Amino acid sequence: MATGAAARALALSIETLNSNVIRARYAVRSEVAARATVLAKRLADGDKTLPFKSVISCNIGNPQAVHSQKPLTYIRQVLAMCMYPDLVSCGIFPTDAVNRARSLLDAMPGGIGAYSNSQGHERVRADIASFLTNRDGLPTSIDEIYCTKGASEAVRMTLECLIRDGTDGVLVPVPQYPLYSSTLTVLGGQTIGYFLNERDQWSQSRAELTRAYDEASKLGANIRALVLINPGNPTGQVLDRLTIEATIRFCDERNMVLMADEVYADNVYDPDCEFVSCRRVAQEIGSNVQIVSYNSVSKGFIGECGLRGGYMHLWNFPSDVMEQFTKLASMSLCSNTVGQIAMALHLRPPVEGDESYPVYAAERQSVIDSLRRRAVRMSEALNKLDGMSCTLIQGAMYAFPRIRLPAGAVDEAKARNIAPDEFYVRELLEQTGIVCVAGSGFLQEHGTYHFRITILPPEDQIDEVVERLTNFHKQFLARFP
């Protein structure tokens, strides 16, 4: 620090920092998560005074971090050869994996350590385009695809293009993934919530969309886009085709962009549910709505969060708008090439007849089957607790149970100047080591309390999570009758 008669004021202090950044909240990595890190370090250092022996992270969709999901063999084999090309000729990998690595390396001048095109390597975007063409039954150009550092960067880029001033806003589902509200806050835009119906499996209705749109419009909001998260995060529902169709028509009628968050498309567990892409439905009903859809290697059955691979697909956008997206992409030069390759491998995997197919198919099915069992186990356990209810986990990676907190707990939370469900998850961490996220961090209907808990701990640990949570909940209710 400066010394002398008068210390010079800091050029950047909390008082002079962008107030939008200060106001932004990202609950998934909040004070609870930071406290969990402190407690985990104490355990690692040999602290025996805590009432639990391990911290169990159930706050974030990060499968490999909780040791519940191993990397898929084929993807890591090809990545290894792309990272160290001498492995191509070592003779230890399946022939199809070797051929795929060679094909990718041949298409990447300078290898993966060199910058790619700002939209991503053409070979990678060709694999993504082929996947989208087959899935939606529509031709897809590689020029419509932007490889990004996970889906989060793609969402941010979209909102940067949409939000012009403080009157611009976006319709966002409530509960929502806080990436949307936090990014809108930083950009100075408005988060306009439309409520999902918890009593009907977190369903979405046109009447509620209309209410939210009309009320915000009367207050002067210029609503530019609507966010659809399917399967739902944090709510775990899978939307049916009729709901998607109604949402598309709603956007069409009001000239809004549809932001289709489809990163959990592979995470569908309910046999009565099926993922249907917004683009496919729009094409089938003859809609020309503008759609930006998002995908990521962090979710699904691949779970490669740390590789930061993702993409967005822009549909029905004019070339001059695409040029501006490309300009934004070029400011970051390119997304990381390892993530690009992982996305290509995920969307064009081994097929029947390939040497790698039997292992790949078995690993993929094992992951999905395990997630399905954990989804059932978690929702059943939560519904057995007094004052707690949880809708069926149809998809994604989370349960979002409602908790009916006693008046004493609500009063204690108010005395501490925190939300009641935040108080609950803080106490849960301190007493059990389980890390969850308060429902208030995702927005929720006034007067209701929830928390989000992942289904990602390994199957042999799920029962321990359930036991710790059950014992804590009983003790919590006894403390605050």
Q: Which fold has domain 19-68+361-479?
A: Aspartate Aminotransferase, domain 1 (3.90.1150)
Q: Is 60 exceeded by the pLDDT of residue 74?
A: yes
Query: Averaged over 435-458, what is the pLDDT?
Result: 93
Q: Dihedral through CA 378, CA 379, CA 384, CA 387, nearest 10?
A: 110
- Confirm if 427 and 473 have CB atoms less than 8 A apart: no
Rounded-to-integer distance, Cα 147 and Cα 335, Å: 6
Query: Averaged over 82-98, what is the pLDDT?
Result: 95
Residue type, 303: G
Average pLDDT, the chain: 94
Res 7: pLDDT: 64
Spans of all domains in the chain = 19-68+361-479, 73-106, 114-347
Which one is the CATH code of 73-106: 3.30.1490.20, 1.10.287.1970, 1.10.10.10, 3.55.40.20?
Answer: 1.10.287.1970
- Confirm if 196 and 204 have CB atoms less than 8 A apart: yes
Per-residue pLDDT of 122-149, as tens digits, reads 999 999 999 999 999 999 999 999 999 9
CA 15 to chain centre: 32
Res 69: pLDDT: 82
Q: Is 70 exceeded by the pLDDT of residue 108?
A: yes
Higher pLDDT, residue 8 or 206: 206
Q: Is 60 exceeded by the pLDDT of residue 308?
A: yes
Taken as a whole, the chain contains a residue count of 481
| Residue 182 burial (CB count, 10 A) | 21
**Order of all β-strands in the sheet with 168-174:** 145-148, 310-315, 291-296, 257-261, 222-229, 168-174, 190-195
Burial class (CB in 10 A: 0-12, 13-18, 19+), 464: middle
Q: Is 70 exceeded by the pLDDT of residue 2?
A: no
Rounded-to-integer distance, Cα 161 and Cα 225, Å: 11
Query: Averaged over 445-461, what is the pLDDT?
Result: 92
Query: Averaged over 163-178, what is the pLDDT?
Result: 96
Q: Is 50 exceeded by the pLDDT of residue 71?
A: yes
Res 341: pLDDT: 97
Q: Is 50 exceeded by the pLDDT of residue 216?
A: yes
Question: pLDDT confidence of 406, banded at 50, 70, 90?
Answer: very high
Rounded-to-integer distance, Cα 399 and Cα 378, Å: 7
Q: Are strands 257-261 and 291-296 parallel, antiparallel or unpaired?
A: parallel
Query: Averaged over 287-305, what is the pLDDT?
Result: 94
Res 31: pLDDT: 86
Least-confidence region, from 2-6, 163-167, 277-281, 425-429: 2-6
Q: Is 70 exceeded by the pLDDT of residue 3?
A: no
**DSSP per-residue codes, 277-345:** -HHHHHHHTT----EEEEEESSSTTT--GGG--EEEEEES--HHHHHHHHHHHHHT----HHHHHHHHH
Rounded-to-integer distance, Cα 350 and Cα 94, Å: 11
Res 5: pLDDT: 47
Per-residue pLDDT of 321-361, as tens digits, reads 999 999 999 999 999 999 999 999 999 999 999 999 999 99
Residue where the block lists tokens 């004019």: 318
Res 6: pLDDT: 56
Res 61: pLDDT: 85
Asked if the 114-347 domain carries CATH number 3.40.640.10, the reply is yes
